[in-house]
Structure 1
Amino acid sequence: MALPRRMMLTGFGGLAAALAGAAARPAAAWPGEEEPPRRAPAAPPGVTPGELARDERFWSSVARQFRVTDEFVNLENGYYGIMPEPVRLAYHRNVDHLNACNSYLLRTSYKERADRVRDRIAALLGASADEIALTRGGTEALQNLISCYRRLRPGDTVMYADLDYPTGRQTMDWLRGRRGVDVAQVVIPEPAHRQAVLDAYERALRAHPRVRLLLLSHMNNVTGLVTPVREIVAMARERGADVIVDAAHSWGHLDFTIGDLGADFGVFSLHKWMGAPLGSGFLYVRRGRLDDVEPVFGDASTPDPDIRTRVHSGTMDVAPILTVDTALDFHEALGGAVKQARLRYLRDRWVGRVRDIPGTAILTPDDPAAYGAITAFRLPGRTSQADNLAVARTLMDRYRIFTVQRSGPVGGDCVRVTPALFTSSADVDRLASALRDLSRTS
């Protein structure tokens, strides 16, 4: 969807107005779309994911499956992932179907369709459907697992890292008043090399021997660092601590199964890297561990034991859940390994072009196991929130590149960069050129 060129020089106010105008235009009806539904191009046979990651012609065909404004380069795709066209069209059909059929749909075919979604998620995750409960996103899943974890006693300790998701940290803090527990924090080191991260968790767990619950980001939302989850889960388990793994940013982004993480509890988003509509996610509880999580708000609508009693969202918009099937179709047509390789390639491309700028900090290491698309940077001397808000604003106003300032790292604030499947090599080259320009003028 191209927006008017007049927006180019109008700044944020004009951008917001133009986007609002575009959003107000009605979507094409179904049937009779202006363009027929499209499918993700399948990876050609005999080509490795690494080779395909560099094939701009192939990725241009993928990019055409997304309606994306051409008025700026969007490198802030970590908030949520826009839907590719087959998913967008399916979502509109499902909204219309829900609106037309009303409670009849909810009382008849919805449950069967939701169960089918659970089955597909479970197969992709390497789990069983009875270990999965659908939620309205990773945040709802995270709050439910933390607040309903029932093995805490007064005097126990819960622990999280400084770069974990704010809502997760806040919910862990809330346990202090509700459960009488102490709260401890792990500081993720800079530079965040694998052994340094493992050492930080080992020191923290040794210093707090009464830790019974640890929140652990698979990929954190600030710098994009991918932690060695399996090793940290094992480390915590040896000390009698359970781990809730926050995989909201890694699911559909990195190629893994739940067995690779070794986790008993996990939270996942479907509207980030799976490209499902906003309002879709799920939680995971390994079979045999459900008794350690209370039914949320004492939910008794489903006979226990059933993991679905660990979520109670009331009457919700089910159109996002009904659309997950189509999002999984798109994901599987490309393949998790191909998506992962492309996203890492885009990160490598721009990082490789700015590594030599004196004093510039890249906040993920070059170990491929430690990153995906998300990477944050810090320009020399720019450590405050105001500094990094200014950098992000300059990138947008002067270079038409959208990024976002983030707080939390021990070395100071930073700017987060997140390419997507529709991002081209030229887009990230534009960022690298802008950063080199900024380094000369700062």
Structure 2
Amino acid sequence: MRYQFLLDPSITFLNHGSFGACPKPIFEEFQRYQLELESEPVDFIQRKQTSYLRTARQSLAKFVGCNAGDLFFTSNPTFAINIIMRSIKLNEGDEILATNHEYGAMDRTWNFYCKKTGAKYIRQNISLPIISKEQIIEEFWKGYTKNTKIVFLNHMSSATALIFPVKEICDKAQELGLITIVDGAHVPGHIDLNISELNPDYYTGTLHKWMLAPKGSSFLYVKPEFQNDLEPLVVSWGYESVAPGESQFLDYHELQGTRDVSAFLCTPKVIEFLEVNNWKKVSDSCKQIVLANYQRFCDLLKAQPLSPLTTEFLGQMASVPINTTNPTELKSLLYDKYKIQVPVMPLNGNFYIRYSVNAYNSQEDLDKLYQALEEIIKTTDLIST
């Protein structure tokens, strides 16, 4: 499988979780659309693009379990969340209940809007290690007050690489009359996803991570009753359109003027690639490698696993606590000397080394990381054990 990807063969790439990796057939489809755009830009943008986007949306909606008219493409989840935040009317004292495991860009975006409105962003502590799903749910709802207006939750955390019980939390939030927003950046193509069953008000996810699409391909799902309240982040030709399309919702958010939508249009090819290569089986094999190596790295780094070693909490990536004096220098050393691309992630005053496993990886790749860390422990003071 590794020869299907464009990754530099001299690098041991254990960081699929950050930006993904695109296989050759999908990248060729990406370039094909770009060439079509450049060969006749006016015809492509003014006549073909809407139809192409509709086909791509229909393909994606079937894959993620929702109606094609209830989502649109965005460049990334941060863009998607900014659309929501701009539209939701926050008042002074309103509270957004999240966890202290959210992605840093999301924390910053909520803080930005809260400063403007006087609302409060509550990063509810979810203690580590995770003992059970019930523990997460119980600790999360301790942050609920009469002022809570929104529940914001990552489906799978970035720094700690943990799967969160989104369905249970969404169900209770609906009972309480709260708005539910889910950041599923790491979910599509990684763990099972059926948006209709989860029933959030808003859900965003990427295609360019675990679905293997070209960079800059993500989506935002919005429940129908909220769609007409969603303002465009960029006001363009879709606003008060002289030639309305399927819905105001799609007009506002799809018609953004001149931009390259080639990454979005690759979606049918992306899904075809996953199906032809039996990606569910590939993904399950990768998850088993992640689980088989986790305790081994914990033992090396004298760390405790962040959760039970099961697929209820872990997917194709895992984060191991690491006691380092300089995470930036450690990451650079692993790359510059050992040719290993792996992140050292900060969160809440702690650091985690997070390895990802995909089809192009093997046990040998994790052995290289293990041996490099072993040598660094013996020869430097960057890691304490």
TM-score, reference length from structure 2: 0.89
Distance 1:297 1:265, change over 3 A: same
Secondary structure of 1:68's counterpart equals: coil
Distance 1:362 1:308, change over 3 A: farther
Equivalent residue for 1:344, pick from 287, 290, 306:
287
User: CA contact under 8 A between 1:250 and 1:273: conserved in structure 2?
Assistant: yes
Measured after TM superposition, the shift of residue 162 of structure 1 is 2.4
Cα RMSD of the aligned pairs, angstroms, is 2.3
Measured after TM superposition, the shift of residue 203 of structure 1 is 0.8
Aligned counterpart, 2:205 = 268
2:30 corresponds to 1:87: no
2:191 corresponds to 1:254: yes
User: CA contact under 8 A between 1:223 and 1:374: conserved in structure 2?
Assistant: no
Residue segments in structure 2 that go unaligned for 5+ positions in a row = none
Equivalent residue for 1:120, pick from 32, 36, 59:
59
User: CA contact under 8 A between 1:270 and 1:281: conserved in structure 2?
Assistant: yes
Secondary structure of 1:192's counterpart equals: coil
Equivalent residue for 1:75, pick from 14, 20, 27:
14
Equivalent residue for 1:418, pick from 356, 370, 382:
356
TM-score, reference length from structure 1: 0.78
2:173 corresponds to 1:230: no
Distance in 1 (alpha carbons) for counterparts of 2:104 and 2:87? 18
Measured after TM superposition, the shift of residue 148 of structure 1 is 1.5
Q: How does 1:373-412 map to 2 (within 5 A)?
A: 373-379=316-322, 381-382=323-324, 386=326, 388-409=327-348, 412=350
One-letter amino acid of the structure 2 residue matched with residue 234 of structure 1: D
Aligned counterpart, 2:143 = 204
Distance 1:221 1:305, change over 3 A: same
Aligned counterpart, 2:101 = 163
User: CA contact under 8 A between 1:254 and 1:337: conserved in structure 2?
Assistant: no
Q: Which string of whole-angstrom CA distances, capped at 9 and with x for unpartnered residues, describes residues 255-293 of structure 1? A: 221134231210111111111111211100122232443
Measured after TM superposition, the shift of residue 114 of structure 1 is 0.8
Q: How does 1:253-332 map to 2 (within 5 A)?
A: 253-296=190-233, 300-302=239-241, 303=244, 305-310=248-253, 313-332=256-275
Measured after TM superposition, the shift of residue 163 of structure 1 is 2.2
One-letter amino acid of the structure 2 residue matched with residue 340 of structure 1: S
Measured after TM superposition, the shift of residue 312 of structure 1 is 6.0
User: CA contact under 8 A between 1:364 and 1:375: conserved in structure 2?
Assistant: no
Secondary structure of 1:185's counterpart equals: strand
User: CA contact under 8 A between 1:63 and 1:423: conserved in structure 2?
Assistant: yes
Measured after TM superposition, the shift of residue 171 of structure 1 is 2.0
Q: How does 1:123-162 map to 2 (within 5 A)?
A: 123-150=62-89, 152-162=90-100
> Percent identity at matched positions?
24
Distance 1:297 1:83, change over 3 A: closer
Measured after TM superposition, the shift of residue 106 of structure 1 is 0.8
Aligned counterpart, 1:11 = none
Aligned counterpart, 1:242 = 179
One-letter amino acid of the structure 1 residue matched with residue 195 of structure 2: I
Equivalent residue for 2:120, pick from 182, 205, 211:
182
Secondary structure of 2:299's counterpart equals: coil
Distance 1:368 1:428, change over 3 A: same
Measured after TM superposition, the shift of residue 297 of structure 1 is 5.0
Distance 1:295 1:401, change over 3 A: closer
Distance in 2 (alpha carbons) for counterparts of 1:70 and 1:326? 24
Residue segments in structure 1 that go unaligned for 5+ positions in a row = 1-61
Distance in 2 (alpha carbons) for counterparts of 1:325 and 1:361? 41
User: CA contact under 8 A between 1:133 and 1:282: conserved in structure 2?
Assistant: yes
Distance in 2 (alpha carbons) for counterparts of 1:257 and 1:339? 20
Q: Which string of whole-angstrom CA distances, capped at 9 and with x for unpartnered residues, describes residues 223-245 of structure 1? A: 21110101111232233221111
Distance in 2 (alpha carbons) for counterparts of 1:147 and 1:107? 28
Distance 1:264 1:77, change over 3 A: same
Measured after TM superposition, the shift of residue 377 of structure 1 is 1.6
Measured after TM superposition, the shift of residue 398 of structure 1 is 4.1
Measured after TM superposition, the shift of residue 153 of structure 1 is 3.3
Distance 1:142 1:342, change over 3 A: farther
Q: How does 1:48-63 map to 2 (within 5 A)?
A: 62-63=1-2
Secondary structure of 1:142's counterpart equals: helix
Secondary structure of 2:180's counterpart equals: strand
Distance in 2 (alpha carbons) for counterparts of 1:243 and 1:310? 20
Measured after TM superposition, the shift of residue 431 of structure 1 is 2.0
Distance in 2 (alpha carbons) for counterparts of 1:228 and 1:109? 41
User: CA contact under 8 A between 1:91 and 1:323: conserved in structure 2?
Assistant: yes
Count of residues in Structure 1 that have an aligned counterpart in Structure 2: 373
Distance 1:355 1:177, change over 3 A: closer
